[in-house]
Amino acid sequence: MNMKLDPWGAVNIDNYSKLFHEFGILPFDTVYSDISRPHKYMRRNVIFGHRSYDLITGAIKKGKPFSVMSGFMPSGKVHLGGKMVMDEIIWHQQMGGDAFVGIADRESHSVRGMSWEKCRDLGINEYILSLIALGFEPNGLIYFQSESNRVKDLAFELGIKVNFSELSAIYGFSGETNISHMISALTQSADILQPQLTEFGGPKPTVIPVGADQDPHIRLTRGLADKMNMFHVSVHPYKISDYESGEMITIHSKAHADVIVQSATQKAFNSIEKALKDVQMNDVKIDRYTGHIDIRYITSNRSDVILETTQNIVRQVERKLGGYGFMPTAATYHRFMSGLQGGKMSSSIPESHIALTDDPKEAAKKVKRAMTGGRVTLDEQKKLGGEPDKCSVYELLLFHLIDDDKELMEIHSECVSGKRMCGSCKSLASELMSDFLTEHQELRELARDRLDEYGL
């Protein structure tokens, strides 16, 4: 049966590799070696997939502008799942990215029926305080969707390029879905594309760190970014001879058959053709047609440079004509933590998760009561070893509580070899959790006094 991903529904992904085949998400190891100081989620395969993340690794390597953006729907307490997204945003900010965080109050109001006052309260007192306490710097932008005319205006523009059938195919909307819920989906796309607007320096690689259930937003936005652009750039293999293979880049105009539009297109093509010739790519052959330009070249280690140069030129011309020139949205996808009692983690079941505002002593008790991958008896555990990959306590250590990979690997191997008993892991994890929450909550109080630095 085909998998359904529902950003507003229950998360139930039993096999992450299915996402590669069914949705075209790429395994993260295709870009991992290009990252010089990977985050622990990357090193530990917690981030398992991506789309177009090579745009981000390229920008980091070359010191070029890029952005990181993600949003939080204020619907309750922020728990360790939300912390993961925050950690990823902050890591990209530290890598030099412009960071954007949207508080999705329009989504919460339309989908959950949350009042605007409650959205504001949860947005500040749950999400934003934790985000700042975890290290988000004031040079990033934190905003509420409902207060951003820029985002709301862009959402309206995006709405012209998508119809009900397309939204239904992506999100499973039915005739019962309220219109504001649909508008909130477009608002998410506007959040995601906002960093590429002229006010923020124009088109640039932008990564959205998300859990796999949020992929519908990424797919919708990638499609919309392409639809909003005036030109479509595609690459095809091109056979030169039996001995030589080549590639062909085609630049299509999306202009319709209107005479005025056609003449504007020809002028734009003149500019693109001239700019391509000006950069002296002697190893390419340019053919100009009425509705498109073809660029042919022999496949080589210059292929990527030729494509990037062409895309940059097309974007520059488009922006001079008043277009957006959006780059495709990049995304990273992380695994979900399981619930502390096994099964799924659920915001509505306090025993299944730890909130960042939980009392540290209570949180430590939750860890002590958590389900492990241990055997029924100590003898069996010594003989067979435990199963850390099915253990929610080990997950806490892996996702959040132990930074040192060597220490974590030791725990893993001691567990599987039967040397380690669950009691020692639970004591360690509950102590580390209590320490983390105590310190985090102190930092949250300091953050409260710094909200004005963030324009809040």
Residue list 386-425, contact with ligand SF4 (CB under 6 A): 386-388, 391, 393-394, 415, 420-422, 425
> Per CB under 6 A, does 374 bind ligand SF4?
yes
Long-range contacts of 285-292 (CB under 8 A, 24+ apart): 290/262, 290/266, 291/252, 291/253, 291/265, 292/250, 292/251, 292/252, 292/253
The pairing of strands 330-334 and 47-51 is: antiparallel
| Residue 201 vs 423, nearer CB to ligand SF4 | 423
Burial 242-267 (b: 16+ CB within 10 A, else e): eeeebbbbbbebebeeeeeeeeebee
Among 45, 35, 98, 107, smallest CA distance to 68 is for 98
Candidates 102-110, 351-359, 369-377, 445-453; binding stretch for ligand SF4 (CB under 6 A): 369-377
The least CB distance from residue 396 to ligand SF4, in Å, is 10
Q: How far is CA 451 from the centre of its chain?
A: 25
Candidates 59-67, 243-251, 300-308, 370-378; binding stretch for ligand SF4 (CB under 6 A): 370-378
Candidates 187-195, 238-246, 298-306, 384-392; binding stretch for ligand SF4 (CB under 6 A): 384-392
> Per CB under 6 A, does 140 bind ligand SF4?
no
Residues 48 and 335: their CA atoms lie apart, in Å, by 7
Residues 428 and 437: their CA atoms lie apart, in Å, by 14
The least CB distance from residue 132 to ligand SF4, in Å, is 33
User: Cβ atoms within 10 A of the Cβ of 421, count?
Assistant: 17
The least CB distance from residue 147 to ligand SF4, in Å, is 45
Encoded one letter per residue, x for contact with ligand SF4 by CB under 6 A and - for no contact, window 420-449 reads: xxx--x------------------------
Among 373, 434, 440, 454, binds ligand SF4 (CB under 6 A): 373
The least CB distance from residue 383 to ligand SF4, in Å, is 14
Three-point CA angle 166, 119, 187, nearest 5°: 25
- The region that residue 202 occupies, defined by phi over 0 for left and psi between -120 and 50 for alpha, beta otherwise, is left
> Per CB under 6 A, does 334 bind ligand SF4?
no
| Residue 206 vs 392, nearer CB to ligand SF4 | 392
Residues near ligand SF4 (CB under 6 A): 372-374, 386-388, 391, 393-394, 415, 420-422, 425
